[in-house]
Structure 1
Amino acid sequence: MSLVKIASVACIALTLGACQSLFQPSYKTPLEVTRDKSEQLKPGCSGADCPLVNLDTVHFPAEPQLDAIIEKRLLQMARTSPDAPLPASLGAYREQFLRSAADHHGIYLQSKVREQHDGLVIIELASYLDNGTTNGTPGRGFINYSRQQHKALGLGDILLPGQEDMFWKAARVAHNNWLISTHLDREAEFVKAWPFQKTPNVALTSRSVTLKYDVAAIAPAPLGHVELQIPYERLRGIFKPELLPDGN
């Protein structure tokens, strides 16, 4: 092959490589997100006592799989019993709720972007069921969505094999640190009454892993949704290396 032909082939290869890179997703660029917010009262009802459904959620035009995951999680949080069937959509749930709800009842469902980093989209979910009493039922949750894998990551996707016990030991240390920082460690009765617990709400936030607790899970209700932080440096050998942010 002549030098001219070799040079031509090399140029074509370089051009194709450049074109391919242009069409690969840049995970450092956040996904475009839109917001959909609405509040609807029971048809034909007016006044402060009317049943209502308040929806405030996010959508990702380029990632419909994430939209579907968010909708399903919000529907699960809206259930009043774990085995209740899920409606087909948030719209169907709203119609069903408003059709049967009594006065003073309402439901608030929210999703928002907590962070986007390293190819992950961290969604925080919130719910509040107003059942007409003084105190309603609040809920919280997280979705750790991998843009590379197009799925939500659970602990089984995050931890190295056999490391779940070590992860929760690190969480216990974070709990102790929280007690110290709030000076609650000095209250023997508090420590006894509100021991450490595991939580399903684990978020891969950029600076540390965030654990979030339901109200009255590890502290009295007035303290709200307690958050614990586990630095990533303590999770080396526990987390899969590719899920540790750069520099950890």
Structure 2
Amino acid sequence: MMYGKLSGAALAALVLSGCQSPEAERVTSPSLSYQPLEKRFVEPGCQREHCSEVTVSSLVFPDDPDLSDELKRRLLALAMDMTDAPADPPQEWDGYAEAFFARAGEDSEMLPQFMASEAQMEASVYAQHDGLLVLELTSYVYHAGQAHGLPSTAFMVIDERQSRAVSLDDMLLDGQDGAFQEALLQAHRRWMAEMGYDDQYVINWPLSESRNVAPLEDSWVVKFNVYEIAPYAVGQPELFIPFEDLEGVAKPRYLGQ
């Protein structure tokens, strides 16, 4: 049987196409376009020296209103007072401010000697790589009379190739949640050693499960809120899980592959 001859250039192209590295096959997707969003609300009718405020420093996606709405929904939920959350939480910035000022007015009447109440909400880019956009959502809520405000944090991981937010379940291989928790336990032990904490500390502040996870370029970071695994003064601990501990646990897409 006769085969047609390939030119040298064609043969070279064929050989090269069969020997491309995984890096050469990686799809590079365009980054999502986003813009800053700034809002400030001041307690209406306030005549005091210090008035309650709500400030927003977030992002919007001009070409993807669904993602913009999802980010707003998550940020508003993060800033809700979990001890006094309404059955139907506000879905808009001004609705949140109205509800917050109603509570702040009551606090000011009962405790006029304290500083004004305040709520801050912020979304910022934590990392961006391999077609993934990781946002860190933070809030700080202080009501007059409290010893201190309450900060909260949450990641929002956006897969730019799919134009949607993904969860830990989306990033793990099927049936690997237990293996992930074991990797998190090892990361917690490393963090304990770095901080110089002993076994008594673990008894007082045991590791709790967390699904607040973000994939970075060489590891995953798991971030905890205050009081979850440490006292308020420690802040919001970050535990890092290297990629090698996630092989066979996480989908390659979220391990930089």
Query: What secondary structure is seen at the aligned counterpart in 1 of 2:72?
Result: helix
1:77 counterpart = 2:88: no
Query: What secondary structure is seen at the aligned counterpart in 2 of 1:75?
Result: helix
Greater Cα shift, 143-152 or 86-95? 86-95
Which residue of the other structure, out of 91, 101, 109, is the alignment partner of 2:104?
Answer: 101
Greater Cα shift, 74-83 or 51-60? 74-83
Query: What secondary structure is seen at the aligned counterpart in 2 of 1:61?
Result: coil
Query: What secondary structure is seen at the aligned counterpart in 2 of 1:36?
Result: strand
Which residue of the other structure, out of 123, 126, 147, is the alignment partner of 1:114?
Answer: 126
Q: Residues 200 and 242 of structure 1: is their aligned pair in 2 closer, same or farther, counting only changes over 3 Å? A: closer
Greater Cα shift, 103-112 or 89-98? 89-98
Q: Residues 38 and 83 of structure 1: is their aligned pair in 2 closer, same or farther, counting only changes over 3 Å? A: closer
1:92 counterpart = 2:95: yes
1:44 Cα shift? 2.2
1:224 counterpart = 2:235: yes
Q: In 2, Cα distance between the equivalents of 1:245 and 1:235?
A: 12
Unaligned runs of 5+ in 1: 1-24
1:39 Cα shift? 2.5
1:156 counterpart = 2:169: yes
Query: What secondary structure is seen at the aligned counterpart in 2 of 1:125?
Result: strand
Query: What secondary structure is seen at the aligned counterpart in 2 of 1:50?
Result: coil
Residue type of the alignment partner of 1:135: H
Asked if the contact 1:65–1:150 (Cα under 8 Å) also holds between the matched residues in 2, the reply is no
Residue type of the alignment partner of 1:124: E
Matches within 5 A, 1:40-189: 40-81=41-82, 84-102=87-105, 103=108, 104-132=116-144, 133-184=146-197, 187-189=198-200
Query: What secondary structure is seen at the aligned counterpart in 1 of 2:245?
Result: helix
Asked if the contact 2:104–2:143 (Cα under 8 Å) also holds between the matched residues in 1, the reply is no
Which residue of the other structure, out of 200, 222, 226, is the alignment partner of 1:211?
Answer: 222
Q: Residues 164 and 48 of structure 1: is their aligned pair in 2 closer, same or farther, counting only changes over 3 Å? A: farther
Residue type of the alignment partner of 1:125: L
1:47 Cα shift? 4.4
Asked if the contact 1:141–1:201 (Cα under 8 Å) also holds between the matched residues in 2, the reply is yes
Deviation digits for residues 172-200 of structure 1, max 9, x if unmatched?
A: 0000011111221xx33212211211113
Aligned position for 1:19: none
1:192 counterpart = 2:193: no
CA RMSD after TM alignment? 1.9
1:231 Cα shift? 0.7
Residue type of the alignment partner of 2:46: C
Q: In 1, Cα distance between the equivalents of 2:64 and 2:28?
A: 14
TM-score (norm 2): 0.79
1:92 Cα shift? 2.4
